[in-house]
Amino acid sequence: MAFWARQISIWCSSVKTSNVANSIQRLRKTHRTWMQLDELSVLSLLCTDNRFLQRGLKTYRPVSLGSRLQSTNSSNGQIVSSESNLLSPVNHYQQQAEVIPSSDTKTLYEVWEDTPPSSALEEISEEEAVQIVAEPPLPLGSFTLRDYVDRSETLSKLVLLGVDLSKVEKRPNAGQLLLRLDFEKDIRKRLLFLKDVGVEDNQLGPLLTQNPYILAVDMEALETRVAYLKSKKFGKEAVARMVSRAPFLLSFSVERLDNRLGFFQKELGLSVQKTRDLVVRLPRLLTGSLEPIKENWQVCQVELGFRRNEIQHIVSQIPKILTANKRKLTETFDYLHNVMGIPHHILTKFPQVFNSKLLRVKERHMFLTFLGRAQYDPAQPSYISLDKLVSMPDEVFCTEVAKASVKDFEKFLKTL
């Protein structure tokens, strides 16, 4: 249709390929993720209604990438490819465009003679007038998804679902991926699958924010992995919990998951049920690297001097110890054991002290020493248990444990 040709010609003349190439080179240095529109997503973004496409592209050759471009006429395929040549520094998906046979060249010249460039004063019907889309052209490349979100159905639906696009666009190639996907075809299936697994509606948004790449994983792969987890006797709620708390879980292959579960069983020496509980409690263990966990295990055994069964008990209560910072762990233990004088068996009973900040423990301990109430031996009177020392908020700690006012605590803090 005439108006369509006008649209594309205006748009293409505004594209300066040299500018695009230069800006790409300059922007590569700035370490931000660059998203580019390919031919198909441009067309799909511009036309949100099938009807337009069918009308407008009646004279154009089908380009087989898409869902919506259903037109039949083959003679103007050349025009499409010439436009795509203009966009070539920008276009990555050329390999899917169809090869145009040389016999069409003649028809091409005929077509070009038949449709001279249309003038703006040409009369068009009411329906065509209504269909003119007078919005500014989309930028061919951009740093942010803000430029595309209003015109893209996929992106709008994702925003309404709760996906934080400002975080997603910072991940490498995630923005490009989302631009390429189509909601009806790709995303809907996976969202329904996740819902079947048991992920809540309000958790779908955060999950996709953290791991947008899950939308590019094959459906069969996802199903096999969930089936594998179920075969290892993880219950439905457990699997749902694991998937929502470790968004990258289903991006891992079955071999990797198997490897990880095997590691936890052998190295840590835990029973099958305990491994399951551990993994359900902190599913991040399955998605992270195993090296820090091995190191922390060695630290606990060799440097801190805990026995094997003690470490197993601590780990089942506070799995975070396995992923904690080695240096901070040793510093906290050093203060607890050497300065506060707490023996190993009491530390095993209250492993949550390893989870808290060292500064907090130090301040509270010094306050109690100042008041003369620092008694951590259960056999002695006025004994203060470590969980009361660490887990309570300041007001409760001051009034109940230290039996002093919060103001005194603050004054004491200023004397440290």
Partner 1 sequence: MAAGRAARTRLNGLFAVYKPPGVASIRVRDTLETLLLKELNSLEQPTVPQQVRFLPTTVEGNAGKELTLTVTQLPVLAAHPLVKGPEFTHLKIGAGHRLDTKSSGVFVLGVGHGNKLLTDMYNAHLTRVCSGTEPVWGLLCVTPILTRNQGQAYTVRGLFGKATDDFSDTGRLIEKTTFDHITGDKLERILAVIQGTNHKALLMYSNIDLKTQEAYELAVEGLIRPMEKTPPLITAIRCLQFAPPEFQLEIQCVHETQQYLRKIVHEIGLELKSTAVCTQVRRIRDGFFTLDNALPRTHWNLQNIRNSIKDSKIKVKVGLQRSLSHQARSGKRHTDMDQVAESELHSTEGTSASDLTQNEITTC
Compute the least distance from the CB of residue 413 to partner 1, in Å. 5
315 binds partner 1 (CB under 8 A): no
Q: Which of 342, 387, 332 is nearest to 362 (CA)?
A: 332
Instruction: Please give the single-letter amino acid code of residue 350.
Output: F
149 binds partner 1 (CB under 8 A): yes
Residue 146's alpha-carbon distances to 20, 31, 272, in angstroms, are: 19, 18, 48
68 membership: H or E segment, kind and range: none
392 binds partner 1 (CB under 8 A): no
Pick the piece of the chain touching partner 1 (CB under 8 A) from 114-122, 289-297, 348-356, 406-414: 406-414
Mapping DSSP to helix (H, G, I), strand (E, B) and coil, where does residue 363 land?
helix
Compute the least distance from the CB of residue 256 to partner 1, in Å. 31
Instruction: Please give the single-letter amino acid code of residue 318.
Output: I
User: Closer to partner 1 at the Cβ: 162 or 288?
Assistant: 162
User: Closer to partner 1 at the Cβ: 159 or 221?
Assistant: 159
145 binds partner 1 (CB under 8 A): yes
Q: What is the per-residue DSSP string for 197-252?
A: HT--HHHHHHHHHH-GGGGGS-HHHHHHHHHHHHHTT--HHHHHHHHHH-TTGGGS
Q: Which of 264, 196, 265, 269 is nearest to 230 (CA)?
A: 196
Task: Report the chain's terminal Cα–Cα distance, integer Å.
Answer: 80
414 binds partner 1 (CB under 8 A): yes
Residue 43's alpha-carbon distances to 90, 130, 158, 179, 389, in angstroms, are: 15, 19, 20, 12, 63
Compute the least distance from the CB of residue 114 to partner 1, in Å. 27
User: Closer to partner 1 at the Cβ: 229 or 361?
Assistant: 361
**Binding residue (CB under 8 A) for partner 1 from 104, 147, 186, 277:** 147
User: Closer to partner 1 at the Cβ: 127 or 218?
Assistant: 127
- Say which residues have a Cβ less than 8 Å from residue 271's Cβ, sequence separation at least 6: none
Pick the piece of the chain touching partner 1 (CB under 8 A) from 81-89, 157-165, 259-267, 367-375: 157-165
Q: For residue 238, how many other CB atoms are within 10 A of its CB?
A: 19
Pick the piece of the chain touching partner 1 (CB under 8 A) from 9-17, 237-245, 271-279, 355-363: 355-363
**Binding residue (CB under 8 A) for partner 1 from 99, 120, 359, 379:** 359
**Binding residue (CB under 8 A) for partner 1 from 41, 131, 211, 312:** 131
User: Closer to partner 1 at the Cβ: 387 or 394?
Assistant: 394
User: Closer to partner 1 at the Cβ: 108 or 159?
Assistant: 159
What is the per-residue burial (b if ≥16 Cβ within 10 Å, else e) of 59-95? bbbbbebbebbebeeebbbbbbbebbeebeebbeeee
Site string for partner 1, 40-79 (x = CB under 8 A): ---------x------------------------------
State the number of binding residues for partner 1 (CB under 8 A): 32
Q: Which of 367, 354, 357, 342 is nearest to 317 (CA)?
A: 354
Compute the least distance from the CB of residue 262 to partner 1, in Å. 39
Pick the piece of the chain touching partner 1 (CB under 8 A) from 81-89, 90-98, 342-350, 407-415: 407-415
Site string for partner 1, 108-127 (x = CB under 8 A): ------------------xx
Q: Which of 301, 293, 308, 309 is nearest to 333 (CA)?
A: 301
2 binds partner 1 (CB under 8 A): no
User: Closer to partner 1 at the Cβ: 68 or 230?
Assistant: 68
Compute the least distance from the CB of residue 351 to partner 1, in Å. 23
Q: Which of 135, 178, 147, 145 is nearest to 48 (CA)?
A: 135
**Binding residue (CB under 8 A) for partner 1 from 162, 183, 265, 352:** 162
146 binds partner 1 (CB under 8 A): yes
What whole-number distance in Å separates Cα of residue 71 and Cα of residue 53? 8
Binding site for partner 1 (CB under 8 A): 49, 126-127, 130-131, 144-147, 149-150, 155-156, 159, 162-167, 358-359, 362-363, 394, 406, 409-410, 413-416
